[in-house]
């Protein structure tokens, strides 16, 4: 079992939490990105070639059933869920076959609105409450996967 992280879009607080959880549970954590991310030790950093989707493709190649992936990228999450991989976003939401398509539809609708000039641009905040939700979900899902012994 390992934790894979889409590091290009992962907030520092979430990265730190994942590194602490992985060390505590002695689980390998791999952070895939197109650039070096400060604060991630070299053994955990998977530097991917530049280009659209290179880090996503690397995560899909590395992920297996029984692994946990953290990403905010809904198309990547959908690919992983379809492959039977456990996926969380940085707010602790667990993506499932039941909810990923709805989340993707909402995201695609918002993108269409924004591209047509009708959407409102907003920068999502990230606070201690969000970090707590992530910590709880991460702990719950890692415990579940460890019990399964996949």
Residues 1-58: tens digit of each pLDDT: 999 999 988 889 999 999 999 999 999 999 999 998 888 887 889 999 888 889 999 9
Which domain does 124 fall in, by range? Answer: 2-148
Q: What is the CATH number of the domain that holds 40?
A: 3.40.50
Instruction: Centre a 10 Å sphere on the Cβ of residue 108 and count the other Cβ atoms it contains.
Output: 12
**What does the pLDDT read at residue 107?**
54
pLDDT tens digits for 116-147? Answer: 666 665 656 778 999 999 999 999 999 999 99
Q: Angle, to 10 degrees, between the axis of helix 74-82 and the axis of helix 100-115?
A: 160
User: Phi and psi at residue 44, in whole multiples of 5°?
Assistant: -90, -10
4 and 68 in contact (C-beta within 8 Å)? Answer: yes
Query: Cα separations (Å) of 71 from 5, 119, 147, 149?
Result: 6, 23, 23, 23
pTM for this predicted structure: 0.84
State how far the Cα of 24 lies from the Cα of 18, in Å rounded to an integer.
10
* Residue whose tokens read 């690919």: 79
**What does the pLDDT read at residue 42?**
79
CA 45 to chain centre: 15
**What does the pLDDT read at residue 102?**
67
CA 126 to chain centre: 15
pLDDT tens digits for 94-110? Answer: 999 887 766 766 655 55
**What does the pLDDT read at residue 71?**
95
**What does the pLDDT read at residue 112?**
59
Total domain count, the chain: 1
């Amino acid at each position: 079992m390992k934790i894979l992280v889409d590091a290009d879009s992962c907030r520092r607080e979430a990265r730190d939490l994942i590194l602490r959880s992985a060390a505590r549970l002695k689980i390998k954590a791999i952070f895939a990105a197109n650039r070096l991310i400060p604060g991630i030790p070299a053994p955990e950093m998977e530097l991917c070639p530049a280009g659209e989707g290179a880090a996503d493709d690397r995560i899909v190649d590395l992920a297996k059933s029984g692994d946990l992936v953290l990403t905010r990228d809904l198309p990547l999450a959908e690919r992983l869920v379809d492959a039977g991989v456990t996926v969380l976003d940085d707010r602790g939401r667990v993506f499932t076959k039941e909810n990923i398509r709805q989340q993707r539809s909402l995201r695609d609708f918002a993108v269409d609105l924004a591209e047509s000039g009708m959407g409102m641009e907003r920068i999502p905040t990230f606070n201690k409450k969000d970090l707590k939700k992530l910590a709880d979900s991460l702990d719950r899902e890692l415990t579940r996967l460890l019990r399964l012994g996949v």
